[in-house]
Chain A
Amino acid sequence: MTTTLPPFDDVVARFEPVIGLETHVELGTRTKMFCGCMTDFGSEPNTQICPVCLGLPGSLPVANKAAIEATIRIGLALNCSIASWCRFARKNYFYPDMPKDYQISQYDEPLCFEGYLDITSEGQSYRIGIERVHLEEDTGKTLHVGGATGRIHGATHSLVDYNRAGIPLVEIVTKPVPGIGAKAPEVAKAYVTELRNLVRGLGVSDVRMEQGSLRCDVNTALNLPGADWGTRTETKNVNSLRSVERAVRSEMIRQASVLDGGGRIVQETRHFHEDTGVTTSGRSKEEATDYRYFPEPDLVPLAPDASWVEELRATLPETPSVRRGRLQEAWGVSDHDMDSIANAGAVELIVATIEAGASSEAARKWWLGELARRANETGTELDALPITPAQVAAVAALVDAGRVNDKLARQVLEGVLAGEGDPEAVVVSRGLEVVSDTGALGAAVDEAIAANPDVAQKIREGKVAAAGALVGAVMKTTRGQADAKVVRDLILERLS
């Protein structure tokens, strides 16, 4: 079936979107949610397991206090109320990487509820309502072996790694967000970005989308102006901030196309494909599992007392928006520029680069310029680039010292990103240092004068501005490595 998809502008001119986001954050606690196993990422398969997280017969869970504290802190930072009494619940379904064939989660009694997060996108503020924040356990991971694609189709067998099983997971669910029209994709992205910054600021998770410690499901629905909200779909597999935006946009366009064709939207789970940028159908609600939730009888209810909650509130750091206001003033940038910095996920990177010795101008310039471009090209987040703020500061220092110019600096960054080592090492190995030695440049200058007698004559006649052409010729023969100011001085000296 080929359908011509309507352009996005046309979609938002005729339909109103309602979006909602469900975000999972893997907590960075030392041990798992219900046992004493370690949570280190990337360990050998099935080395961080015990009878409890393997769900062996007879084993029982005991809740991790640090995880409960972290969840309450997230809830407080999201302006939520904290339940004075709540329970865990079992979510029952069969799945091989879920050891007990039920997940310990929370159902109608979440630990935190009714909050909000203020965000800004393109200079505009939005208040995103938070429905609930609850705590649950992660599943293991299945690896399908023998097939070409690593998917179950065509595989000869599957291997399960239970290291991740039982790692604490916090689910943060927004209320439906209506009334944002064409801004829906950007608002979705700005929300996840802000949430990520907030959680990172709390120090409870490294919130890395590419490692799966931050996962996002996007709900999207469309309705005609004035009509009731449409049927929503839930898009999973949205694995980067950029994908959040793309997934909302693509799903809005797809739904509009279905509605235009006289069809109806099916309530279903859809999968986002990073490569094509489209969503495809997963399971529909009609065939969805009945999870048979009931209160987890193996765990006593959680009853955080008010004084403990207040103690935790006192540990909250400055919120990202307050912090941003403070930094904006210190850096002296406009609202719009600060928004761009925040949406690029560059705030903390710039702060760290400044702390490593760079000026705020230089830090912003490199992160938002060359590095943002590289991140965009490779489809990764800025903080996932293989370069540290200290290395960026070192490049800025090379520029300040006149050892490289901007063009060479870009090549230094390229070398660092390519894994060639620190900036200093790249400068040496690539031979990128600016040549300012007058002796070495003299020959190139003489050559340029000899090759361009007309220009040389003009300069001799006092047209100093014509020197630029000769400087350019010298830069060309020295492959950009000459110090332009020194070259210019040499030319004027010879032709005066």
Chain B
Amino acid sequence: MSELISLTAAETAAKISAGEVSAREVAQAHLDRIGAVDDRIQAFLRVDTAGALKAADAVDQAKAKGEQLGPLAGVPLALKDVVVTNGLETTSGSKILSGWIPPYDATITTRMREAGIVILGKTNMDEFAMGSSTENSAFATTHNPWDLDRTPGGSSGGSSAAVASYEAPLAIGTDTGGSIRQPAAVTGIVGHKPTYGSVSRYGLIAFSSSLDQAGPFGRTVLDAALLHEVIAGHDPCDSTSLDVPVAPVVAAAREGANGDLAGLTVGIVRELGGEGYESGVTAAFTDAAQRLEAMGAKVVEVSCPHFGYALAAYYLIAPSEASSNLARFDSVRYGLRVGDDGARSLEEVMSLTREAGFGPEVKRRIMIGTYALSSGYYDAYYGQAQKVRTLISRDFADAFQTCDVLISPATPTVAFRLGERVDDPMAMYAADLCTLPASLAGVPAISVPCGLSAGLPVGLQVMAPALADDRCYRVAAAVEASYGAPLIASAPAL
């Protein structure tokens, strides 16, 4: 394994900035790594070799001209295929968008390009981000580098697998109900879901508008924080984007690495543990809580009584919004068109296209969402789910009266086997049990590795009040430091 690919993003940027290595060499090393292992991992749907080298060369030229480089200039990144890229095919993992070349960049794409980040390509994902194993992709099955028979989580499984297999030091994922935190946990890396509204959604192919949030993956907390600061910040193109200063997450990650958490109160959420949680996961979680205590934090138990309804509420709200967001895939303006033989009506062509273009999980959610929004059922389903959402937010508010952060396992189990849950949607949905409350309340939450269970990584979830993303990074960095080296270093070689 080339030394260049095992560096952290922070180290890579420092070397490029110091002139010890060129951005092109770094990009090439990662492209080579993808070439060597991705047939087994299948993290990428498409690799943009030309685009990546061009972006790397631009960084090298800027450096040659003596320009000041940004903190991640020249660092390669794997981009989830839900984020639109001008001139580069973007499918959201769906056949219905196969071949679609966007004419514009997402705001976060623009920000990363401007920061000199080198986009290596687009990563696999569950179709329209609906899933927890990346098995719902229309194109490929991604494998967990810790055990190729297991899933890398989902829906951002391509991004988590790319980072965990050293194909890229950084990746972008999106999290609607846990799609960053759960894949990060099961691949032994760091993944953060920012406060809703703190990262622009402009150019993210929408799944559930009131929940979707893009965020960073990295092998270290600091790397994730550096990427967070590039993508976060107000965007006038997104009405729900918050016009507030970005939380100082890089400083928090550095501070947390000191391992001093004196004065911090950490709440263990009683409802996110116990029965249904794998014993190895529970053991790793308990160990992490003890580490926090050892670093000076006061650890208490709190109750969030409505968290038990999060799954039910989520599986009404997200499909409802999805049923509307996905209506536009109607064959008229872009993407797949099926059955347009000159004889069929527009309605028939729309139906045939959607029948052929959407996978079974997407269809299931469109059906559920359409039903939940129907006249006569709205109050009982969508309306009721929104009330539950309010109650969950209240639970958080109450808990944050006494606690600075809340913790739980990031997932109830370690990575499950490919194929194990594909025919059991409820078992698949249960993978998001721990991550759903923070999504519904719009609060920030991070997953950081906290040990292994039977040789597979376990994630610790740290949740903070809205806009206090820095607290997630501080605590995560402290946990990371308590292990000495990042746990990913103990992953088996590919």
Contact = CB atoms under 8 A, between A and B. Distances in A.
Contacts of A99: 328, 333
Contact of A100 (B102, B103, B238, B327): B327
A60 B346 contact: no
A56 B102 CA distance: 8
Contact of A292 (B239, B329, B375): B375
Contact of A57 (B92, B347, B370, B375): B92
A160 B332 CA distance: 9
B237 A62 contact: yes
A300 B106 CA distance: 20
Interface string A278-294: 00000000000011111
Contacts of A90: 324
Interface string B102-124: 11101000000000000000000
B326 to A, nearest CB: 9
B206 A58 contact: yes
B370 A292 contact: yes
B51 interface: no
Contacts of A59: 104, 202-203
Contacts of A160: 332
B98 interface: no
Contacts of A495: none
A57 B104 contact: no
B328 A57 contact: yes
Contacts of B204: 58
A101 B203 contact: no
A292 B382 CA distance: 11
A62 B239 contact: yes
Contact of B374 (A62, A100, A292): A292
B103 A92 contact: no
Interface string A58-71: 11111100000000
B373 A92 contact: yes
A56 B104 CA distance: 10
Interface in A53-102: 54-63, 90, 92, 94, 96, 99-102
Nearest to B317: A297
Nearest to A50: B104
B97 interface: yes
Contacts of A60: 201-202, 237-239
Interface string B390-418: 00000000000000000000000000000
Contacts of B83: 58
Is the interface on chain B under 10, 10 to 19, 20 to 34, or 35 or more residues? 35 or more
A322 to B, nearest CB: 38
Contacts of B303: none
B208 to A, nearest CB: 8
Interface in A431-463: none
Interface string B82-109: 0110000010100001001011101000
A68 to B, nearest CB: 12
Contact of B102 (A55, A57, A63, A291): A57
A57 B90 contact: yes
Contacts of B238: 60, 62
Contact of A101 (B240, B320, B327): B327
Contact of A102 (B92, B320, B324): B324
Given A101-B327, A160-B332, A290-B374, A58 B106 contact: yes
B205 interface: yes
Contact of A54 (B100, B203, B208, B333): B333
Interface string A293-316: 110011110000000000000000
Contacts, number: 102
Contacts of B329: 57
A59 B202 CA distance: 6
Interface string A120-164: 000000000000000000000000000000000000101010000
A292 B350 contact: no
Contact of B330 (A63, A96, A292, A294): A96
A58 B235 CA distance: 14
Q: Which of B205, B209, B239, B330 gathers most chain A CB within 10 Å? A: B239
A292 B90 CA distance: 29
A102 B237 CA distance: 20
B378 interface: yes
B164 to A, nearest CB: 27
B16 to A, nearest CB: 30
Contacts of A51: 102-104
A293 B378 CA distance: 9
A60 B240 CA distance: 10
B103 A57 contact: no
Contacts of A290: 374-375
Given A92-B324, A290-B375, A58 B330 contact: no
Interface in B152-206: 201-206
A100 B334 CA distance: 12
Given A57-B100, A292-B324, 12 more contacts: A56-B84, A57-B92, A57-B206, A58-B83, A90-B324, A101-B330, A102-B324, A292-B374, A294-B320, A294-B321, A294-B382, A300-B240
21 contacts: A54-B333, A57-B84, A57-B102, A58-B206, A59-B104, A59-B203, A60-B239, A61-B239, A62-B237, A62-B238, A92-B324, A92-B327, A99-B333, A101-B327, A102-B324, A156-B342, A158-B346, A292-B370, A297-B208, A298-B239, A298-B240
Q: Which 5 A/B pairs are nearest by Cβ-Cβ distance?
A: A101-B327, A297-B209, A292-B373, A297-B210, A58-B203
Interface of B: 83-84, 90, 92, 97, 100, 102-104, 106, 201-206, 208-210, 236-240, 320-321, 323-324, 327-330, 332-334, 342, 346-347, 350, 370, 373-375, 378, 382
